[in-house]
Amino acid sequence: MNALLDLSEEVREAMGRGAPVVALESTIISHGMPYPRNAETAIAVEAEVRASGAVPATVAIIGGRLKAGLSESEIGLLGERGHAVAKVSRRDIGRIVAAKADGATTVAGTMIVAAMAGIKVFATGGIGGVHRGAELTMDVSADLDELGRTDVAVVCAGAKSILDIPMTLEYLETKGVPVVVYRGDEFPAFYTSRSGLRAELRMDSAAEIAAMLKAKWSLGLSGGAVIANPIPTEYEMKPDVINAAIEKALAEAKAAGVRGKDVTPFMLAKVKDLTGGDSLESNIALVMNNARLAAALATEYARL
């Protein structure tokens, strides 16, 4: 165990007896939703993981300490401080730890801490990816490289639909990352269950996915896996509505000169405003759905 890593008592006890544990990210708290919905949602997601038979381990950096498992007060602090909390990916961890500062971990940052703790399953909203126009900007999320190197399965609703999804899937293929679609024939596009891109690998049970992960890592094949869990149809948005909002938000981001790690939170906030808040409700529904599948997957993996 890394000397800079703290496990909550609940997580430590679960890990000690081989119980299923699900990592959860904290960027979605500080940078993904407005306060107080962000903290309320994070606590509700933890409750959903517990109700589904696993132990939640929300990951963040608090006072320079890596944390796997937060208290409700720590979640509330991250939610209330919002964007004042640093958004932390691989490149940022050393700086935030050295400064004894607070940080909200991205998909990549959460994977790193989860792997240190021995947690194999992680639930989030959507992974980062290749941004639209990346052929000119070279804007590619660090999440993709992390998936190619760190042994954690990421349960998500696909790639965020603000991204270039075909290029994201090509990048994952290059990195040797398995992309599983759970009970679906198309790769999901976050707010919608369909992207028009055929699923290369469909699996219909958590046990089947767990067996694949066990075989992959037992063979020494390093890197994670994307478990794409389509948003429930009753919560998905109409493609024409969400795509129109994304195009308008992209134009505003370009006009404002927004770049790098600021693009995703800017886009999500704009899309929320342009859809009258509907995208936020869809976002919350899909995160809860992913938490349930991640708990089932962690349970099956623990049995192996």
224 is written with which tokens? Answer: 């994670």
Q: Spot the catalytic one: 87, 120, 160, 272.
A: 160
Q: Are 23 and 59 in contact (CB under 8 A)?
A: yes
Phi, psi of 266 (to 5 degrees): -60, -50
160 catalytic? Reply is yes
Burial of 202 by CB count in 10 Å (0-12 exposed, 13-18 middle, 19+ buried)? Answer: middle
Handedness of CA 224, 225, 231, 237 (dihedral sign): positive
Beta bridge partners of 140: 130
Q: Are 119 and 152 in contact (CB under 8 A)?
A: yes
64 is written with which tokens? Answer: 């320079």
Handedness of CA 271, 276, 282, 283 (dihedral sign): positive
Q: Nearest CA to 161 among 230, 82, 88? A: 230
Count of CA atoms in the C-beta half-sphere (13 A) of 254: 12
Q: Are 126 and 283 in contact (CB under 8 A)?
A: no
87 catalytic? Reply is no
Widest Cα–Cα separation across the chain: 53
DSSP for residue 153: E
Q: Which residues are marked as active site? A: 25, 160
